Structure formats: structure tokens, C-alpha cells
Chains A and B, each alone.
Chain A
Amino acid sequence: MTADLIIFLILALVAVGAALGLLFSRNAVYAALFLVLNFITVAVFYLLLNAPFLAMAQVTIYAGAIMILFLFVIMLLGTKKLKTRGENHWQRRLAIGLGVVLLGELVTLFFIKGQRGTLLGDIGSKFGGPESIGIELFNQYLLPFEITSILLLVAMIGAIVLTKDN
């Protein structure tokens, strides 16, 4: 238990540090790299939570494919340093307000519901493995899964149509 706690604390420190680095770095490439670090740390959290399939998918899809495309775009468009002052003050106030609401929700969930152990029920050792995820996905959640894939397909076709020459 204590070893798990120490690992969790180190990982949490890295994850929060990477997230802050993402927010405060003025160079877009560094910001993207901090986000990659954050994604990989979250993948290690999934491993700690006995969900290896999710961890590997997180690294492959988010840290690998999506962030490489981000970097690709940043490198193609050039990396001008961002200005230190933003003009949209109302956006900043709104973001802070929403952030506080989210934090409040999380704290409430953890301290009120988490005490009774209702957030996570008893999970078997096979939880999060490829078999159990496949069975859940294709039996119980088949319709949402298919709708998601159609949404992605439509988005893809939309991107192709929008960028096509006449």
C-alpha cells in the first residue's frame, strides 16, 4: 500500500508539473511536449489502476498519433512566441470560474461518496484487460460504439471535403 502511495505521489507530481508546464510555456513545441509527458503519466496511472489496455491505447493514440499531428502542424506553421498578455479577460474569468466548479465537484465526490466506497465497486483481476473491454464494448455498448465510429467517419469526410480544391 505504501509503495503504491509513493509511486502515486511521484506520478501525480509529474502529471501536475507537466500540466502546469503546458499552461505556462510560451513556446508551442515545448507546450506540446509537456502535453505528451502528461499523457504518458496518465497512461502509467491506468497501469496502476489495473487497466493495461487503456494505458497502451492512451500512449498509442494520444501520446503517439494525435500529438505527432499537433507537432507536425506547429512545425509547419512555425513557432512564434506567444504574447504574455491575453486580450480576452472575460474568457479568463469564465475559465477560472468553471475550473473552481469542477474542482468543487471532484472534492465533493471524493469526500462524500468516496468514503463509502461506492465510486469503484469490487473489480476482478481481469478488469481492464483486452478480453473484458472487448466483451463489454461489443455486447453492452455496441450502439454507442458504432455511433462514435460513424461520427469519426463523418468528421473525416468533412475535413477532406473542406480542404479539397475545386
Chain B
Amino acid sequence: MDIILVLEWVIKSIILILFGVIGFAYTTYYERRALARIQTRIGPNRAGPAGLLQPVADGIKLIFNEELIPAKADKFLFLLAPVLTVLPSLIIWAVVPWGTSITISGREIPLYLADINVGVLYIMAVASIAVYGIVLAGWSSNSKYPLLGSLRATAQIISYELSLGLAFVGPILLSNSMSMVSIVEKQQETAWFIILQPLGFVIFFLAVLAEINRAPFDMPEAEQELVGGYHTEYSGMKFALFFMAEYIKMIAISAIAATLFLGGYSGPWVGSFPWLGPIYLMLKIIILLFVIIWIRGTLPRFRYDRLMAFGWKIMLPAALINVFLTAVVIMLLP
């Protein structure tokens, strides 16, 4: 095997992980500032210019926090759970394309880690194992609120995964491929899939919000009922890992939504200047992150029974109708 190729993959992976970690730190800052504006407050503005060093201060505070492990907790799983939560949020980035390819000193480097012919299924697979961290965190804490939170999370994630899977079918049918790179290329030829698949985009976005437990689907960590949900017993860096996973997942789903429905890295002049690809994708991610924060700032939380009823009785039939209509239209049109 080509040693330079291995080196290239390692460098790309490190860049993606660094992007995830730094993105996490500044997404918390972005969310706090944006939420403050929605609620006519100012938000964190003391640490550094315009509060830009706030994430660093928070990180240092979390490192020096005392690490508590409940006496009757299952220690091994209690320590494993935060790791299992962070891992899927990082490895899901492997199939997201950032651009076409760039040339550095005569070597053509594609701007994605892997272009596999089952890219969309890879995302489904990683999303389906992401729930283990939450389940184990709740169970291994040996405490009632975390257990209730993690049971809610399991039921919610399994219910919304079905709609999520069906929402993927629209872009797959339209582009005739499961590879993320081909889906973006097809959107450059025709139109962004949000125009051809408006219902599909809405279902996808609602389902991923439920998958990552964001408002208004944040039942597993509803503070008023469940204290902190599945991470009640965690402190210090272990708590920070859960926090990190949640925000990296926010960024990841924004990137996937942008890739599947908003044209991914494509934009004006991206053909002649490939460096513009990552910038366009970043812009789309930031806009979608704002939408997620905006939803949190304005919508109340669902009641638990309504959340399950919404998932099974509205989302799933709507997703099935969307698949059916898309397939019929594709078969009828030449």
C-alpha cells in the first residue's frame, strides 16, 4: 500500500477531528450568543474580545472539576459510556464530502475521507449505534433519573430512525446512488434536492433533531422532570464528553443535511476554484446551525406521549407517502 496515501488519510482524519473539537467549542459560544439575542439578553461577553475566549474558560473549568463516580455505579461501563457517545459523532464525518479535489505539489488530493458506494447507509449505521452511549450512561449510573432519561432516549431514537431512513430514500432515488459524492454531483446537474424533495427535507430535519435530542425533542434530558437526564451523575471531563458529542452531532447533521438537500459543497465558481468548496459547506452548516438554535429559542418542548405519537402517526406515514410519490414521479417522467 502507498505510504503517502496512508499519510494523506491520517492528516485528513486529524483535520476532521480538530474541526469537530474546535467547532464544538465555538458552537456552544454561538448558541449562547444567539439564544441571548433571541431572549433580548447580551450573553457571554467578558472573557476576551466579545466573549470569544469563553469556550476556553469553560474548558479549563471543566478540566479542574472534581470527577465523581457514584458508589454503586458499574464503573467500567460508567467510564465507557462517554467514549461510546463521542466516537460515532466523530466517525460519521468520514463520508461527508468537502469539495472536489485540490492539487498540492503535483498530487491530487480529493477533499473527502472516503467515497464509498454505501455512504448513506454508513450514516444510518453510525446513527443507529450512537444510542449505546446514552443507554449505557443511564443504566451504569445506577440512579433513577438517568435510567428514565436513557429509556426515553432509546424509545425516541428507535422511533425516529425509521422516518430518518425513509427520508434518505428521496435523495437516493433522485441521484440513483448511495454515495454522498454522487448525490452532490447530481445536485449540481439538476437542482438542490430541497426544491425537488421539500417534504423529504422537513422529515429529515425533524427526525435528526429527535435523533440528537435537540429541542423541541429534548425529552431525554428534560431538566424540569429528569434533573439532567442520562448525564445527571457525570461531572468534569466525562460530562464534557457528552456535551461535546451533542454539539459535534449538531454540526454533523447540519453537514449531512447540507450535503443531501442543499447542494453540499457546490456553489458559484466552485468548478474553477476548488478551495471554495469547504467554504460553501461551512456557510451552509452555519446557517443550519442557526436554524437549530432558533428552533430551541422559540419552541416549547413536546410532551412525551405526543412525541411518540408524532413520530409514529405523522412522521412515518408522511415519510412513506414521500417515498411513494418520489418513486412514482421518477417512473412516470422519462
Asked if A69 CB lies within 8 Å of chain B CBs, one says yes
Contact, CB under 8 Å: A75 / B151: yes
Contact, CB under 8 Å: B135 / A68: yes
Contact, CB under 8 Å: B128 / A64: yes
Nearest A residue to B76 via CB reads A30
Asked if B131 CB lies within 8 Å of chain A CBs, one says yes
Interface stretch of the complex, out of B59-67, B101-109, B118-126, B293-301: B118-126
Contact, CB under 8 Å: A64 / B129: yes
The range of chain A's interface size is: 20 to 34
Q: How far is the CA of A69 from the CA of B151 in the complex (A)?
A: 11
Contact, CB under 8 Å: B117 / A56: no
Chain B neighbourhood of A29, CB < 8 A: 74, 77, 139
Nearest B residue to A75 via CB reads B139
Asked if B1 CB lies within 8 Å of chain A CBs, one says yes
Asked if B312 CB lies within 8 Å of chain A CBs, one says no
Chain B neighbourhood of A59, CB < 8 A: 125, 128-129
Known: A29-B77, A59-B125, A75-B151. A130 touches B135 (CB 8 A): no
Find residues 122-168 in chain B having any chain A CB closer than 8 Å to their own CB. 122, 124-125, 127-129, 131-132, 135-136, 138-139, 147, 150-151, 154-155, 157-158, 161
Nearest A residue to B131 via CB reads A68
Contact, CB under 8 Å: A63 / B129: yes
Q: How far is the CA of A29 from the CA of B141 in the complex (A)?
A: 13
The dominant DSSP class at the B interface is: helix
Asked if A3 CB lies within 8 Å of chain B CBs, one says yes
The range of chain B's interface size is: 20 to 34
Chain A neighbourhood of B150, CB < 8 A: 75
Partner of A56 from the list B122, B136, B147, B161 (CB cut-off 8 Å) is B122
Contact, CB under 8 Å: A65 / B118: no
Asked if B178 CB lies within 8 Å of chain A CBs, one says yes
Q: How far is the CA of A75 from the CA of B154 in the complex (A)?
A: 11
Known: A29-B77, A57-B121. A65 touches B139 (CB 8 A): no
B73-92 interface code vs A (CB 8 A; 1 in, 0 out): 01001000000000000000
Contact, CB under 8 Å: A56 / B124: yes
> B178 to chain A: closest CB distance in Å?
5
Chain A neighbourhood of B116, CB < 8 A: 52
Q: How far is the CA of A56 from the CA of B77 in the complex (A)?
A: 25
Contact, CB under 8 Å: B128 / A53: no
The dominant DSSP class at the A interface is: helix
Find residues 56-89 in chain A having any chain B CB closer than 8 Å to their own CB. 56-57, 59-60, 63-65, 68-69, 71-72, 75-76
Asked if A129 CB lies within 8 Å of chain B CBs, one says yes
Contact, CB under 8 Å: B132 / A56: no
Contact, CB under 8 Å: B121 / A71: no
Q: How far is the CA of A69 from the CA of B44 in the complex (A)?
A: 42
> B38 to chain A: closest CB distance in Å?
35
Partner of A52 from the list B77, B118, B147, B154 (CB cut-off 8 Å) is B118
Chain A neighbourhood of B77, CB < 8 A: 29, 33
Residues of A within 8 A of B (CB): 3, 29, 33, 36, 40, 52-53, 55-57, 59-60, 63-65, 68-69, 71-72, 75-76, 129-130
